[in-house]
Every structure is written in C-alpha cells, then in structure tokens.
Structure 1
C-alpha cells in the first residue's frame, strides 16, 4: 500500500516565520536605523570645544581637541552635554535678586576714562545703525554668533577656535549675565576668536561690519572685547585675572626696586610669525644691550608642571619688554602688573585696555628701528633717573590694579548695551543655536578647565555698573 497523496497549496512552499521573529527583525532594523540617524545627528552638532568644526579659514591651525576622542566617547559627550543637560544654575535666586535690586538707586561709580572708546569703536554705525544685513554679512568672518534674549544666552558655532578660547569667551558672557541679572539687553552679535582684525576700513567702507574680537587697529572696524584669559588660560596654567594679578603683585615684592636687576627682560614665544620677536632675540646681551631675552617653550614648561614659567616669578627686573606676536598679545596685562617699567615696542594692535595707557606715565615707548639700541637707551635713562623710572613702574601696576574683574564686566556691559542701542531689529533665538548655560560649559570642560571656570564664576553685583564718561 503506497503513501497517501497530500495536495499542497501553491503558497505552502513559502515559509512563514512566526510573529516573534518578525517583531525581533523589526526592532533590529529600527535599532540600525536609529544608530545611523543618531550618528548623522551627532555629526551635525557643533559644540563649544570644536566638535564638527573646521579651523577658521583666515587663520588655520592644525590641532582640534575632538580628534583625540573615540567615536563613541565623542557621541556620548555631545548627546549628554548638548541635549540632556538641563540649564538651571544661571537662574538668579530670589535672595540674589533682592540684594541686586536693593542697590539700584545707589549712585554708580565713574568708569575709567578709557571707557569712552566704546562709543568711538561703535561710531561707524552711529548713522546707519546695525541691521540684520550687517550681522548676516559679518557672519562670513565670525567663529561664532552670540545672541542674548531675555537674559538667556544662545550661541551658534561656525568655526573652531584655538585651544579653549571659545569656551572661556562664552563663559565670560555667561558671567556677565550672572553679574548683572536683568540688566543685559537683548543683542545679536558676531564674534571671531582669532588674533588679527579682518574688517579693513578701506575694503568695507561701503558697509562696515560689526565684528567683535580681542583687538583692533585704527585701520579696522573690528570691535575690541576682553579676551578669554581674563577667566583663565588653563593650557598654560594662567589663573583667572583677579587671582593672577594678586600673584604677580605679590611676586613683584620679592625684591626692592633698588635690588631688581637693572636690565630689561622678555620671555616669550618668538615662533608665532613675528619678525619683531625674532629680531628681539638678537638683543639678548645684558652687557651690550642691557637686555635678557629668553625663549619660552610651553611644551617643556608643561612637562615640568609650569614651575619655571610662573608669571609671578618674572618681576625681578626693573624693566620688562612687551613685543607683539602674531598680532596683539595677552601678555601685555601681565607685564604691566609687575611694577617694572614696561618697555612697549611700537604697537600696531590695541585691545580694549591699551587705550588707557599714557606714554611716559604708564610705560616707555620703544621705536622698532634700531631695536637693541632703543632698548639700551631706555634702560640707561631709567638707571640714571631711578625715581622717575620707579614711578612709571608703579603707575603701570596701579593702572592694572584698577582694572579688576568688576571693571572688566562693566566694560563688557557698556559695550553690549551701547551696541544694542544701534540694533534696528529685535534679536531672537537662531534656529541653529542651542542655549548655553553653566551646566553646558562645565559638561564639555575637562577637569582642569572646570577648576578654572569655577574659580572665575561671578556673583550678582551689589552695585550698579559704573557710569560711562561723556
């Protein structure tokens, strides 16, 4: 007897998987899709430490911090800090607001006279005002955009900045909002974090572009703003400004004026495309040129724990030389703080504070021609007129003592306020910008940066900002 014949349906030759398998397969495809989507999302998120950003094309630099991170670490950090961090620490407590408002009617102190340059810096827009077209055009030369709306800070990043400049500059804006809660007006401005001014007055005479940066020249429209190092320069172990000034002033007292070395001193990095600094190396001859010129190797200094590069230990000479580098240099404020006679080699660039310096009162000007002989002549004059030289050194130090962080914030406040008065539009949060708050910055900061950020954190002021001079 044969086997029974079984008639099969034409569709029965296809295997139909059980429902559980289909569900599992669906979730696998979904997970794979989400991985690709998250990866694409992360790759498009730009951050305060340079993730997914290229160096500024007008000042290319080779190193980006994000290059040292693994792909997973980078993605986790971006998601955690940019999207999972809750802002809250920037909010002023009721007690702080009460303390702040209690002194609203107190007469403000008078701002330093050089604050009047704020209006001079903004004069190119006094007639035309600042339109959205100005801001949009300035974006082409900016590293990031700063927007303040209702006391909240929004930043749109376009290019990476050297080291932690972006982080500490943005932190400065956050501290301004913290110091003067409810006072800082709504603004929309473009900022470049590199050294050289770029908005040439001749090239942009038809449409001056309002671009904030750390320095300017008489030939540029760039608007000078306090540099990042006022909140600390963690890469080379320089403390936030108030603390660093105290350290330098204390170090300047290690030797009485009469016991300081009667020669000029400079220590810095000449390898910054600076012909002036390279020429200065030729003046390293205490006997013939009355100058000691030392090359600063920051890599070696870091390996030695910065023990031999402390600024507070560089005030043992009666004269200190300031030489511009690639452009302006943050070293100026530290040189002025020593109590030594600043020998400032003819400047091409100016930051916000240099407009307050008076030749032969706060410093001795040094012509760049016949540089070594010019330095020697200044030193010889000072040694022949010790009381006058000592007075110049003291005047320079007193000038920097008057520029506390309180005054730095006042300068920032008035600059932003005067700028806002020229805007013809109401700033709004850019669709491509994220809110930046204390938690956001601290999340991206490494341990050393976090220490510097905490040290430089501001508190609400108990007095109103100083009053601008007429």
Structure 2
C-alpha cells in the first residue's frame, strides 16, 4: 500500500488594504508642513528686508529718534508690500552707458547754449579737496560706512541703494527720489559712482582726522569735512505739508506781493519750533517784544498744525513783515530758503552750519547779519536801521528773493551732477553693486510711499530728459573763495561795530 504525501498548503490570506484616508492625511500633512515652512521662511526673509520706507531699520545711533510705525492692516499685508515693492517693481531697462559732460557737447539732441554755473558751485572743488591727492579708495568708502545711513551706487544709469539705518521721517525716500530724477533729467551723463550718505543734521567728519572719509549730508561747517548735498525738501516734505521747491517758491513770491514795503509790518518776524535742542532758538524766544526789541516771535507746534490741516503755517501767508529772522535748529535748517524767498530783509543769526547754496549769500547784499551773543539788541538795531533806510532794506530783501529764484531746480540738478561727477573722478576703483544693495527705480520707491508722499513725489517727477546742457562748472579758485570769506567776515565786523557805536551813544 503506497504512502501518499499530502501537502497541506495553507489558504492564501490577502494583505489588508491601507485605507485611502491615510494617504490623504499624509499628503495634507505634507502640504501644511511645507506651507508653514514656506511662510516661516518668507516671514524670516521679509523680516530681514530693509526698505526705503524704514522697514526693519533701526534709527541712527548718533541721533536717536522714535521708530516709524506703518499703516498696513496686518502682518501679511505688510509682508506682501515689502516683497512686491522690493523685488517686483523695477522693470528691465536697457543699460545706459555714461558719457562725459565734454562728450555731450556735440549732441544734436541738446541745445548748444551752455550757461555758466553760479559762483558758489566753486565750493564743489573746495569740498572735495581733502581727497585731491589720495583719491577716494575702497577703504575710504568702507570706513565711511560707520557714519552712514545708506549707500548709493550708480552703475550705467541704474541706481542701487544699500540701507544701514533709518532716517527721520521721509528724508531718505525724498533724497533717493531726487537722485532718480537726476538720472531722468540727464540720462547717460551721471557717471558710475559709490557714495556714502548720512541723513541726519549735524556733520560728523572732523577736519582734524588724519585720514578723513567722504560722507555726504545736507550741511557742513568749518570744523568738519562732510560734503553738502541738496536736502530732501527740494522735492517736498510731507510731514510739514511742504510742496516741491519751485511750487513753494512761486506761491511765496506771489504772497510777498500782497503788501507793498510801506504797508508791511515794520517788525522782525520768526515762527518755528524752539524745542529742537537749539540754544539760539530758545534765546530768540526772549526777544518777543514788538516795542522793546522790534520783534514778533511765535512758537510753531507741528502736531497742532497737522491736526488743523496746516492752515496756519502756509509760507505764502508769512511775508507780511519787512524783516524775517533765520535761526538754526539742531543744526542747519531747511527754513532758510523759504525765509529768503519772502523778499523781506532776512536777518540771519550768524550761522554755524552751511548748506550747498547758502555759501553764496553775502551780508548786507542779500541778508543782514545778526549777532548771536547780543541777540535781542542786534535784532533791534537791524529793524531800526531798516526803518531808517527803507529803500536799502527793501533792496536787500529783494536781492535775497532773487538769489533764491536763481536756485531753480535746474540749478539744483546741475549742482548734484557736477558734485557727483567731480567726486567720481577721484575714485581709485571701479564701483560695483554691493551684495546687499537693491535696485531702486521710480516704481519701487512709489510703491512704498504713502498717498501724501506719493502726491508730492509725482509732482516733482522729471518727465522728459533736459534739452538744455547743464551749466558749466567754474574752475577751482581757492584764492577767490578765501577773499570771499574774508570779505564776509569784514562786513559782519562792520555791522557789529555799528551796533557797538549805537550802544555807546545810548549809554551816555
């Protein structure tokens, strides 16, 4: 009987199927994890993106001020705005090769007539003298960064800005806008350049430094080597409701004609903010006595003015006095150009600081010098002298107004062009775009601007390139400038002597 081997094969068991919802859960979890990671990375990226409006920028440590608050409704809307404005607002433009001012002379597009620049343009040579022998090296620029709020690099007509610190209010935005308009006005004529800027008031580069660094700002003085550059308010100042310069000047001049000289109040007038760490303005407040000192001194509260729509601070309505006073603030003040524009005899309290155009002013020619050490009596003497010599006083006032009329935006752009051009000639290196710098164009800057800022910026936009060539820069003439400086000092000394003689007569 044979044996049969029976193999028992266990029945096949099918493996359990994974429920479909597990796959969906894995996919959903992966998607949300990726989204969360992406949002985290985007937020982190945005938090490190510095902007012309002041996002992610600390105030300058050498002049601390409150950080700017922003109006975006949410964190995400702010992030979207930063990304959109910083990275997606500048269209591609063909590279424009810079050409020299001399080579432009044969251009058929531009008119052949070329006027001479005002004499104060000679100060460009004087301002750049500290680097005439050494030139401007990469090391100079690197060391200047310690005192800079931002860096401007122009390459083939494109503007790149590297941001280090925030500037108070909208100064940075309007300054950069001005440089963009220069590129629009003179396309192909602005050379490649690498410049460090500070946007606060007081100069900081001491003349005694053995290796001075080139730093651009809005003013300078005898003890410092900071290079004066036209200030932001030429394109508007949104926080004080000031429009672009030529609009403001036109209205101020028109306002000055509402009253004849004889009908203007025979007193000196000042309206401003004394609470800016300005000893001279605090001293000026003591001169507010029409009979005793011949002066009307008024405190300006900008917060209250803003609430009232700036109705009480319109500059065109402040030309009703024969004499107007200029007093420096924390340093120099943008108010000088508006005060001179009234056509009143401007009483300038001997300034410590100078901007780019004020160095062309001449005492007793287009303003009257006032002593800071004997302030109220000095103001009183100027008022009495003017009232005793009305034709001469009116003539000084009109010359001051004419001087400011000559500082047209054409001349402002010409000054910028010549200053940048002469500075670029000193560079001992080929400028390059810093890795952290971003291209800035009109679109990206306007993208960051609030509505009020945008309105002013658009009104100051250069729409078409200039058909006129820039004015011709005068040659360097140090002796001429020295003679001018000595002439000013002598005239001021003569005025002080006149004041002293009257004081002596009064004490007898």
- For the aligned pair, the TM-score class normalised by the smaller chain equals over 0.9
Q: Match for residue 305 of structure 2?
A: 301
Q: Residues 191 and 24 of structure 1: is their aligned pair in 2 closer, same or farther, counting only changes over 3 Å?
A: same
Q: Match for residue 195 of structure 1?
A: 201
What pairs with 1:10-21 in structure 2 (closer than 5 Å)?
Answer: 18-21=22-25
Q: Secondary structure at the match of 1:20?
A: helix
Question: Is the CA contact (8 Å cut-off) linking 1:132 and 1:425 kept in structure 2?
Answer: yes
Q: Please say if 1:383 is aligned against 2:387.
A: yes
Once residues 151 and 296 of structure 2 are traced to their aligned partners in structure 1, the CA distance between those partners, rounded to angstroms, is 43
Structure 1: where are the runs of 5+ without partners?
Answer: 93-97
Q: Match for residue 233 of structure 2?
A: 229
Once residues 368 and 400 of structure 1 are traced to their aligned partners in structure 2, the CA distance between those partners, rounded to angstroms, is 24
Runs of 4+ in 1 over 6 A off after TM superposition: 5-9, 11-17, 89-92
What pairs with 1:46-445 in structure 2 (closer than 5 Å)?
Answer: 46-66=50-70, 70-87=74-91, 101-104=107-110, 106-202=112-208, 205-445=209-449
Structure 2: where are the runs of 5+ without partners?
Answer: 1-9, 97-103, 476-508
Once residues 200 and 441 of structure 1 are traced to their aligned partners in structure 2, the CA distance between those partners, rounded to angstroms, is 33
When the two structures are superposed, what TM-score results if normalisation uses the length of structure 1?
0.93
Q: Residues 13 and 105 of structure 1: is their aligned pair in 2 closer, same or farther, counting only changes over 3 Å?
A: closer
Question: Is the CA contact (8 Å cut-off) linking 1:90 and 1:178 kept in structure 2?
Answer: no
Q: Match for residue 95 of structure 1?
A: none
Q: Please say if 1:22 is aligned against 2:26.
A: yes
1:179-203 Cα offsets, whole Å, 9 max, x none, are 000000000000000000011112x
Q: Max radius of gyration: which structure?
A: 2
1:286-326 Cα offsets, whole Å, 9 max, x none, are 11100000000111111111111000000000000000000
- How far apart are 1:19 and its partner, in Å? 2.9
| RMSD over equivalenced CA pairs, Å | 2.2
- How far apart are 1:104 and its partner, in Å? 4.0
Q: Secondary structure at the match of 1:321?
A: strand
Of residues 251-260 and 71-80 in structure 1, the stretch that sits farther from structure 2 once superposed is 71-80
Q: Secondary structure at the match of 1:172?
A: helix
Once residues 285 and 105 of structure 1 are traced to their aligned partners in structure 2, the CA distance between those partners, rounded to angstroms, is 55
Once residues 24 and 336 of structure 2 are traced to their aligned partners in structure 1, the CA distance between those partners, rounded to angstroms, is 71
Once residues 370 and 456 of structure 1 are traced to their aligned partners in structure 2, the CA distance between those partners, rounded to angstroms, is 41
Q: Residues 385 and 323 of structure 1: is their aligned pair in 2 closer, same or farther, counting only changes over 3 Å?
A: same
Once residues 272 and 92 of structure 2 are traced to their aligned partners in structure 1, the CA distance between those partners, rounded to angstroms, is 41
Q: Residues 7 and 299 of structure 1: is their aligned pair in 2 closer, same or farther, counting only changes over 3 Å?
A: farther
- How far apart are 1:24 and its partner, in Å? 1.9
Question: Is the CA contact (8 Å cut-off) linking 2:240 and 2:302 kept in structure 1?
Answer: yes
When the two structures are superposed, what TM-score results if normalisation uses the length of structure 2?
0.86
- How far apart are 1:90 and its partner, in Å? 10
- How far apart are 1:12 and its partner, in Å? 8.0
Once residues 185 and 105 of structure 1 are traced to their aligned partners in structure 2, the CA distance between those partners, rounded to angstroms, is 21
Of residues 168-177 and 20-29 in structure 1, the stretch that sits farther from structure 2 once superposed is 20-29
- How far apart are 1:6 and its partner, in Å? 11
- How far apart are 1:161 and its partner, in Å? 0.6
Q: Secondary structure at the match of 2:161?
A: strand
Q: Match for residue 464 of structure 1?
A: 469
- How far apart are 1:234 and its partner, in Å? 1.1
Of residues 294-303 and 70-79 in structure 1, the stretch that sits farther from structure 2 once superposed is 70-79
1:352-401 Cα offsets, whole Å, 9 max, x none, are 00111011101000011121010000100011011110110000000001
- How far apart are 1:91 and its partner, in Å? 9.2
1:46-78 Cα offsets, whole Å, 9 max, x none, are 000100000000000013133876322221110
